[in-house]
């Protein structure tokens, strides 16, 4: 991806066929060719005539489709090491849980990530980030969770934020110190959770290194009481809440996350109707991660029909990580959310735009083409919106705009 000269103050898009992704059916209808005026990094107007002066910078979209920039609302982009060996072990009959119990899994990545410097973590993450940018991503959430000490969690979060200095992208960071119990606390998960609550969350909040706190609530992660302790502490520090919940079993973590007005619950293959109702009542987004479902060869389907019945907004994300979803490709996740989970292409597109923004607490800033929103846009060589979830492996992105700054493919 090469950067071209950018337009500091304003630019007009012309001949843009818009897919606004605003609420309602109209948001998924392609407009006739029109204009978008971008000023000060925001969308200043849509559909106004171009001013009759030739000094104003314009981008002729030549009837291309223009969408909100895509949002990958769940990633573990920052990590060191490689776990292809575990992929082989799983294909030779070991389960993800068995590998974890024997020192592999998340802890294998923790040891490699602790050894790496901040600069090395950035260098390792950039090719993965580039994969996402080629899918039209303009905002990416990045979690910590492979450091599991104060020093290493802060290092991961700083590396995640620094990606913005290397690429044109908005980065939203999440503290996932409660991802696994580190070796120093083996068999003492509660003592580790005390450390997370007493040391890590206060420091992260103080240094403004994350906007949310996430917990892996699972038999191989943390139980409900430990999860609740983290949520309470996060709330006391003014941080938003997210959950890795109901991925491998039904512990009730999603309902707990919803009770704390969590922004999203993620994975949720084992979620039941009671949990779905809790999401609906609290406006919590259900984030689907089909890459992990596919890569772990899971068979338990997330409850899509119940999510629709109770009108829970669904997001779709890559969950890119070295253990369960080694896929730096959000478009492929859209495809998989349709083929594996039965989403419609429209639902998949909402899942990476307006609903993904909501999963990050950014619903009033990005993820839709609306006046006043950040000018985060993608311009595509695509005819019909269903094509995003359909043809794979071909880059059809023409350009991205992040806060009005243009980046050509």
Residues that bind ligand DI6 (CB under 6 A): 105-106, 109, 179, 216, 244, 247, 292, 319, 321-324
The partner in contact with residue 322, picked from Fe ion, ligand DI6, none with C-beta cut-offs of 5 to 8 angstroms by kind, is ligand DI6
CB of 72 to ligand DI6, least distance (A): 15
CB of 179 to ligand DI6, least distance (A): 6
User: Could you say which residues in the range 315-354 bind Fe ion, by CB under 5 A?
Assistant: 319
Give the C-alpha distances (Å, rounded to integers) separating 343 from 56, 122, 301. 42, 34, 12
CB of 320 to ligand DI6, least distance (A): 10
Gap between the Cα atoms of 39 and 54, Å rounded: 17
The partner in contact with residue 257, picked from ligand DI6, Fe ion, none with C-beta cut-offs of 5 to 8 angstroms by kind, is none
Q: Could you give the angle at which helices 118-133 and 150-166 cross, rounded to 10 degrees?
A: 50
If the CB atoms of residues 218 and 376 are measured against ligand DI6, the closer one turns out to be: 218
CB of 75 to Fe ion, least distance (A): 8
Gap between the Cα atoms of 76 and 131, Å rounded: 14
b vs e for 280-294, b when ≥16 Cβ sit within 10 Å of the residue's Cβ?
Answer: beeebbbbbbbbbbb
The partner in contact with residue 264, picked from Fe ion, ligand DI6, none with C-beta cut-offs of 5 to 8 angstroms by kind, is none
CB of 257 to ligand DI6, least distance (A): 13
If the CB atoms of residues 66 and 200 are measured against ligand DI6, the closer one turns out to be: 200
Give the C-alpha distances (Å, rounded to integers) separating 202 from 199, 216, 223. 6, 19, 22
If the CB atoms of residues 319 and 407 are measured against Fe ion, the closer one turns out to be: 319
If the CB atoms of residues 20 and 139 are measured against Fe ion, the closer one turns out to be: 139
Output the residue with the shortest Cβ distance to ligand DI6. Answer: 323
CB of 47 to ligand DI6, least distance (A): 43
Gap between the Cα atoms of 234 and 186, Å rounded: 24
The partner in contact with residue 239, picked from Fe ion, ligand DI6, none with C-beta cut-offs of 5 to 8 angstroms by kind, is none
CB of 321 to Fe ion, least distance (A): 6
The partner in contact with residue 292, picked from Fe ion, ligand DI6, none with C-beta cut-offs of 5 to 8 angstroms by kind, is ligand DI6
The partner in contact with residue 36, picked from ligand DI6, Fe ion, none with C-beta cut-offs of 5 to 8 angstroms by kind, is none
Gap between the Cα atoms of 278 and 256, Å rounded: 8
If the CB atoms of residues 99 and 399 are measured against Fe ion, the closer one turns out to be: 99
By the rule CB under 5 A, 269 interacts with Fe ion: no
Output the residue with the shortest Cβ distance to Fe ion. Answer: 319
CB of 396 to Fe ion, least distance (A): 27
In the structure encoding, which two tokens stand for residue 313, read together? Answer: 């907004």
If the CB atoms of residues 105 and 385 are measured against ligand DI6, the closer one turns out to be: 105
Contact residues toward Fe ion (CB under 5 A) are 319
């Amino acid at each position: 991806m090469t950067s071209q000269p950018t337009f500091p103050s304003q630019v007009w898009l012309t001949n843009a066929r818009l897919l606004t992704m605003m609420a309602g059916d109209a948001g998924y209808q392609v407009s006739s060719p029109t204009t978008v005026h971008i000023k000060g990094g925001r969308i200043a107007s849509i559909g106004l005539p171009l001013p009759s002066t030739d000094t104003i910078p314009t981008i002729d979209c030549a009837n291309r489709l223009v969408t909100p920039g895509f949002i990958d609302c769940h990633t573990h982009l920052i990590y060191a090491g490689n776990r292809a060996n575990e992929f082989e072990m799983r294909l030779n009959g070991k389960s993800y849980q068995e590998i974890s119990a024997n020192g592999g899994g998340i802890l294998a990545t923790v040891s490699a990530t602790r050894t790496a410097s901040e600069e090395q973590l950035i260098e390792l993450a950039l090719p993965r980030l580039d994969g996402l940018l080629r899918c039209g991503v303009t905002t990416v959430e990045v979690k910590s969770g492979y450091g599991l000490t104060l020093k290493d969690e802060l290092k991961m979060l700083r590396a995640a934020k620094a990606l913005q200095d290397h690429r044109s992208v908005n980065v939203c960071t999440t503290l996932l110190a409660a991802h696994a119990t580190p070796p120093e606390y083996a068999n003492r998960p509660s003592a580790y959770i005390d450390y997370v609550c007493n040391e890590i969350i206060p420091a992260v909040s103080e240094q403004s290194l994350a906007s949310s706190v996430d917990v892996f609530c699972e038999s191989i992660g943390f139980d409900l009481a430990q999860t609740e302790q983290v949520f309470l502490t996060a709330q006391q520090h003014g941080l938003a809440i997210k959950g890795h919940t109901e991925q491998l079993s039904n512990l009730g973590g999603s309902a707990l996350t919803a009770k704390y007005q969590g922004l999203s619950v993620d994975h949720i293959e084992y979620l039941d109707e009671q949990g779905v109702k809790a999401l609906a009542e609290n406006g919590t987004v259900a984030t689907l991660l089909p890459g992990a479902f596919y890569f772990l060869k899971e068979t338990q389907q997330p409850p899509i029909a119940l999510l629709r019945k109770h009108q829970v907004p669904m997001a779709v994300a890559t969950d890119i990580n070295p253990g369960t979803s080694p896929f730096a490709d959000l478009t492929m996740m859209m495809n998989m959310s349709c083929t594996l989970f039965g989403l419609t292409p429209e639902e998949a597109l909402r899942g990476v735009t307006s609903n993904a923004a909501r999963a990050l607490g950014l619903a009033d800033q990005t993820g839709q083409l609306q006046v006043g929103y950040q000018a985060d846009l993608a311009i595509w060589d695509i005819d019909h919106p269903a094509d995003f979830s359909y043809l794979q492996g071909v880059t059809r992105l023409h350009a991205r705009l992040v806060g009005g700054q243009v980046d050509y493919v």
